[in-house]
Structure 1
Amino acid sequence: MDRRAILGRGALAAAALPLATPALAQSAPAIRWRLTSSYPTSLDAIHGAAHVFSRTVAELTEDRFQIRVFGPGEVVPALQALDAVQAGTVEACHTTSSFYTGKNPAFAFATGVPFGLNTRQQNAWMYEGGGIDLLNELFRQYNAYALPLGTTGAQMGGWFRREVKTVEDLKGLKMRIAGLGGTVLSRVGGVPQQLAGGDIYPALERGTIDAVEWLGPYDDEKLGFNKVAPFYYYPAWWEGAANTTFVANLDQWNALPKSYQAAIRTACAEATHWMVARYDTRNPEALRRLLAQGTQLRAFPREVMDACYREAMALETELAQKSPEYAKIHAAWSKSRDDMRAWFRVAELSFDNYLAQVAARR
């Protein structure tokens, strides 16, 4: 038999075989989830992080796992995101856990607590200090599984219609502020109001509230707070760092293939790095624009900071006595906090302080 003929027939047979497809595509199911966001769609960093996350999940799974992002109110209101996930109305949400401290004060640790950790410390506690596992003991009580998805960096102290010179100026002040920061404000005489992002500007414009904290210059400029409140304060003592959170329905999470769970964990980390980088590169120029338009930048007086610090420390003690979940997380969190602060004083703080002093002398 002609050897060339045999080889020719073999080549034709091989060509007729279908091309090999990746193992993932052959074995992985096609899954579609809905994710509701608590953040206005106009905010490309905090809302946009959910899209970065969704896109990364799709890329990691050969487009087999698609997560569609919805803005607040498109499926459920912004402040009902956790409830919707718990009930199975949606499979997942992107939200701020401190919105839900009324359910349990321990939710604050997933975001950041007054006079708590900075961005690097919060990240370290979450990933290496046991924070994710401890918090998921809490989230399981609400039929949910959670991971950090985004972080803002240190925030600004907010917009005020009038100056704050003493603690007395906080008495009766109606301020949009969420979570335990609002509890501390109430203990020094303020009146906290919890409002979703899209509801803040109208309330400030109408005078329903006297002050508002949201995030920082890049978002605050987009939301237009400088048009109705001239004084811009810093720092946000209630959030030295603020994580936003991915929350999945626990049953839906457990039903995912392990590879899809890994894709979600990876995508959450990717979106977290992306968000803080976006804010850190865009906040400086946004602040310059706000100042050029007449915004008056103010530091909170030391008297105000000290009064809020005392109340925050007292609140920590009280909550640890009242809430078993808070007490358990606080015990581990506070150990990490104290250890990292001791180290940061030696390294990070001394370096940053020196460079700040040099810059101020230029």
Structure 2
Amino acid sequence: MPHSPSRRGLIKGAGLATAAAASTLAAPAIAQTLPTLRWRLTSSYPKSLDTIYGAATLLSKYVGEATDGRFTIDVFAPGEIVPGLQALDAVQNRTVEVCQTALYYYIGKNPAFAPFTTLPFGLNARMQTAWLYHGGGNELQNAFLAKSNVIGFAGGNTGAQMGGWFRKEIKSVGDLKGLKMRIPGIAGQVLARLGLVPQNLAGGDIYPALEKGTIDAAEFVGPVDDEKLGFNRVAPFYYYPGWWEGGPTIHFVANLPAWNELPRPYQAAFEAASAYANSDMLAKYDARNPAALRRLVAGGAQLRPFPQEVMDAAYKENIALMAEISAKNPEFKTIYDSMLAFRNEEYLWWQVGEYPYDGYMIRARQKG
């Protein structure tokens, strides 16, 4: 039976309406309602350290893609806007909206910055992430950072670091006395109690200082980055473990008013991209460090464990230093007590689950 003209008109109209609706749904909803924004990010790390610096470019990439290009973050290396160790100041005064840095660089402002990156004999990488995300660390962190007009997001972890490069062999605690070493954070204070002279230098400034003899030793991260920076060419002895950095977190730190002005979808995109960068950085270091360590040793680096005497002396001094800082700084004490309690609980599990498994597999590998 043929359709009536009026029925054909209704069908045609319905088809046009359906096509229009489909067209509306196909256009990204975020592009229809949200503003175009551009942030600037300054990093504390040189572009040559592509694993760390790369986390900032990863953040930028995924924030841009998630918002259909309407929220973009331009990434700048140290010196392009401000020096690497002035990144937090630039965010506080809103010279830039966000930075990539390690919060323990700023213990001169307050020692309570340090635990959110790492503390000597603190948490390993997985524990640090667990404490921040699910152990109250982030809440303590951002309550503390708010007083500086900023908010922080975990944006990477290096895993356990190396103990650094030394011009001479370390056989006893006495060998540390008078030694000038690039080592930031509270770890420098621990070693100062053993006679070492700590220096705080940005990543790009370490090699020239070590080469010229301005410093006698330097620690940075581990095989991947140390190889790129060429420390093995000017200091032969490569020590482990980096007891001061069992699992340091790199942060993205945003200006708090700027963050609060962001539409919630942009905040969500930033948070998700930061969390991805956090896990991706650790995965990259775990994947790349073995080959880099092989190359360094093949090239002449002399791998050495810190003597037990040095480890024990550092551990003892660290306990004393933590108590002294806690007695003077209630903010630090609250944060440190939280981290310490979490560490003790975590090792209850690790000594049953993780450590026996890893220990067995290491021994099995050595047996071939």
Instruction: Give the C-alpha shift of residue 19 in structure 1.
Output: 2.5
Q: 1:155 to 1:6 in 2, by over 3 A?
A: same
Between the aligned partners of 2:18 and 2:173, the Cα distance in structure 1 is: 82
Per the TM alignment, residue 10 of structure 1 is displaced from its structure 2 partner at its CA by: 6.2
**1:227-266 alignment, distance < 5 Å:** 227-266=233-272
Over 3 Å counting, the alpha-carbon distance change for 1:140 and 1:10 in structure 2 is closer
Is structure 2 residue 350 aligned with structure 1 residue 344? yes
Letter of the structure 2 residue corresponding to residue 334 of structure 1: L
Structure 2, unaligned runs of 5 or more: none
TM-aligned CA distance change 1:6 to 1:344, over 3 Å: closer
Distance 1:124 1:340 in 2: 10
Q: What is the CA distance between 1:138 and its match in structure 2?
A: 1.3
Q: Tell me the amino acid that sits aligned with residue 152 of structure 2.
A: A
Query: Higher mean Cα deviation, 21-30 or 69-78?
Result: 21-30
* Per-residue deviation, 1:72: 0.5
Name the amino acid aligned to 2:274.
C
Q: SS at 2:51's partner residue? A: coil
Mapped pair 1:163 → 2:169: yes
Tell me whether 1:124 sits opposite 2:105 in the alignment. no
Residues 1-40 of structure 1: pairs in structure 2 closer than 5 A = 2=5, 3-4=7-8, 7-8=11-12, 11=15, 19-20=23-24, 21-40=27-46
- For the residues of structure 2 that align with 1:164 and 1:16, how far apart are their CA atoms? 75
How far 1:23 moved relative to its partner?
Answer: 2.1
Give the distance between the partners of 2:119 and 2:361, measured in 1 at CA. 28
Moved more, 8-17 or 35-44: 8-17
Could you list the structure 1 runs, at least 4 aligned residues long, displaced by more than 4 angstroms after superposition. 5-18
Counterpart Cα distance in 2 of 1:351 and 1:12: 64
2:228 paired with 1:204: no
| Aligned 1:49-68 pairs, distance under 5 A | 49-68=55-74
TM value normalised by structure 1: 0.97
- Given the superposition, is the C-alpha separation of residues 17 and 141 from structure 1 closer, same or farther in structure 2, using an over 3 Å criterion? closer
Taking a change above 3 Å as real, the CA distance of residues 6 and 191 of structure 1, as seen in their structure-2 partners, is: same
Is structure 2 residue 85 aligned with structure 1 residue 85? Answer: no
Q: CA deviation at 1:11?
A: 4.9
SS of alignment partner, residue 346 of structure 1 = coil
Structure 2 counterparts to residues 273-352 of structure 1, below 5 A:
273-352=279-358
* Structure 2 length-normalised TM: 0.95
1:76 to 68, 72, 82: 82
Query: Aligned AA for 2:143?
Result: E
Aligned partner of 1:185 among 188, 191, 200 = 191
Q: How many residues align?
A: 362
d(CA) in 2 for partners of 1:332 and 1:164?
34
Q: In structure 1, what is the Cα distance between the partners aligned to 2:163 and 2:184? A: 13
Shift of residue 239, structure 1, vs aligned partner? 0.4
The amino acid across from 2:137 in the alignment is: G
Letter in 2 for 1:44: D
Query: After superposition, what is the alpha-carbon deviation per residue over 1:113-138, rounded to whole angstroms, capped at 9, x for unaligned?
Result: 00001111111100000101101111
Per the TM alignment, residue 14 of structure 1 is displaced from its structure 2 partner at its CA by 6.7
The Cα shift of 1:8 comes to: 4.6
Structure 1 residues 310, 17: closer, same or farther in 2, change over 3 A? closer
| Cα shift readout 1:225-274 (whole Å, capped 9, x = no counterpart) | 00100010000010001100110001001111122111111111100111
Query: C-alpha separation between the residues in 2 aligned to 1:194 and 1:8?
Result: 74
Deviations 1:16-50 (A, max 9, x none): 88931232221121111000000010111000001
Q: Aligned equivalents of 1:225 and 1:169: distance in 2?
A: 20
Q: Which residue of the partner structure matches residue 356 of structure 1?
A: 362
CA–CA distance in 2 between the matches of 1:44 and 1:24? 31
d(CA) in 1 for partners of 2:362, 2:285: 20
> Distance between the aligned counterparts of 1:252 and 1:359, measured in 2?
51
The 3-state SS of whatever aligns with 1:45 is helix
Partners of 1:91 and 1:16 lie apart in 2 by 39
Report the AA paired with residue 255 of structure 2.
Answer: N
**Which of these residues, 145, 152, 174, is aligned with residue 146 of structure 1?**
152
Ranges in structure 1 where 5+ consecutive residues have no aligned partner: none
Q: CA deviation at 1:140?
A: 0.8
Matches of 2:341 and 2:135, distance apart in 1: 9
